[in-house]
Amino acid sequence: MPGGGHCPDCGSTELVEDSHYSQSQLVCSDCGCVVTEGVLTTTFSDEGNLREVTYSRSTGENEQVSRSQQRGLRRVRDLCRVLQLPSTFEDTAVAYYQQAYRHSGIRAARLQKKEVLVGCCVLITCRQHNWPLTMGTICTLLYADLDVFSGTYMQIVKLLGLDVPSLCLADLVKTYCSSFRLFQASPSVPAKYVEDKEKMLSRTLQLVELADETWLVTGRHPLPVITAATFLAWQSLQPSERLTCSLARFCKLANVDLPCPASSRLQELLAVLLRMAEQLAWLQVLRLDRRSVVKHIGDLLQHRHTLVRKAFRDGPAESEAGEEERPGRGQGPGQGKEEVASRSLDLPEGKRPASPALLLPPCMLKPPKRVCPPPPISTATGDEDISDSEIEQYLRTPQEVRDFQKAQAARQAATGVSNPP
């Protein structure tokens, strides 16, 4: 903000406050002349006497800042300005960097880890202020490895004892989808593929919430789920022109990377939508498949709470009731259910029929195969010699004990050596 007064060199009134090494000074924006220099208390003697000294006369005896730390602090400020964060965020990130740098493990770390530390302090600040920023965004800006970044991030949070809330899934969807290059026509994006941002975000959020309700997000990385949900939302808004577009081409048009598990998450979402479509009367006659069900995503999401409950919770009860009502079995009212359950339990665990109506996490519907280690191979043949200290545990009768004592006495007489007591 322009301040009062005139510049002594050019006479301009455009004087602004500038921060230089944490020092407030008044500078002319026209010629660059420093009109008034800020003051610091940096020496022990002057600080003890409550006297202020200018930066040009300060000795910096309070704290010795290494070149590496100065460079890191400068990169923290630069990263905050690139991300256009508020000034309070910048001060907090700088404070975290200084706290982390005091630890010997951080000062002695490799240069790669110190470079990543800059982004970790900025990410922690954004998470604490509920500012939607992903770890992948900072890794892209810093050209950092995601594994190294995540490991350093967890180390700093534990080292400083910070309480960092996790990023809300809805905020992550908005932040991730806002970077898609599909909201305005360009030479690389045909007009038929351009979509309204608000419509696409709204439907993507509904699909991500559906995936969360059906256990498709729990214990998994969220970006592949969001990518699959965004692709389905984009297709369902204009299915006649976009059903022929593949997931890989969609990511290329949007200028985002295709996560490896995104194709699997897409198939799981389509399977959930097909189960929901079976509960709508006007969709049962259409015999939908995983391609045609995309056209009806809007109707399915409109009634998703009721359809999910019917498809995944009421399904087992209805199938068991159908088994009980089958005629010609000579059963009582409650015998059908018991017989079906007993037949399933009699089968081996791997061959029991899994009920498709159960709402369970994918890891329980398709448990991983556990390979049992082979039993250790014994090399004993039975012809091994038995030492005198171990032979007593093999003696069973008094006669065997007497024979053993006679054999020992004969061996002593022949060799002339007595056994130790």
Q: What pLDDT is attached to residue 20? A: 56
Whether residues 208 and 226 share a domain: the answer is yes
Minimum mean pLDDT among 91-100, 272-281, 308-317, 393-402: which range? 308-317
pLDDT tens-digit map of 119-155: 999 999 998 888 878 787 888 888 888 888 989 999 9
pLDDT in tens, 353-381: 444 455 777 777 777 777 777 777 767 66
Query: Does residue 162 sit in the same domain as residue 127?
Result: yes
- Answer yes or no: is pLDDT of 388 > 70: no
Question: Average pLDDT of the chain?
Answer: 77
| 80, 154: one domain | yes
Q: Say if 113 falls within a structural domain.
A: yes
- The pLDDT assigned to 2 comes to 46
Give yes or no for a contact between 288 and 276, defined as CB atoms under 8 angstroms apart: no
Q: What is the pLDDT of residues 10-59, one digit of tens each?
A: 778 888 776 655 556 777 877 767 777 655 544 545 545 555 555 545 55
Does pLDDT of 156 surpass 70?
yes
Higher local confidence (pLDDT), 236 or 285? 236
Structure tokens of 205?
């959020």
133 in the same domain as 105:
yes
Model pLDDT, residue 39: 53
| 137 and 242, same domain (yes or no) | no
Range 207-210, long-range pairs (CB < 8 A, 24+ positions): 207/232, 207/233, 207/269, 207/297, 207/301, 208/169, 208/170, 208/173, 210/269, 210/272, 210/301, 210/304, 210/308
Rg, the chain, Cα only: 37
Within a domain: 162: yes
Let me know whether 163 and 209 are in one domain. Answer: no
Q: pTM for the complete prediction?
A: 0.55
Domain total in the chain = 3
The answer to whether 79 touches 125, Cβ cutoff 8 Å, is no
Angle between helices 135-142 and 111-128 (to 10 degrees): 140
Q: Can you give the pLDDT at residue 269? A: 93
Question: Has residue 345 got a pLDDT over 50?
Answer: no
Domain ranges, residue 32: 1-48
Same domain, 31 and 108: no
Q: Is residue 342 part of a domain?
A: no
Mean pLDDT of 382-391: 69
Using alpha carbons only, give the angle 47, 50, 51 rounded to the nearest 5 degrees: 85
State the pLDDT at residue 86: 87
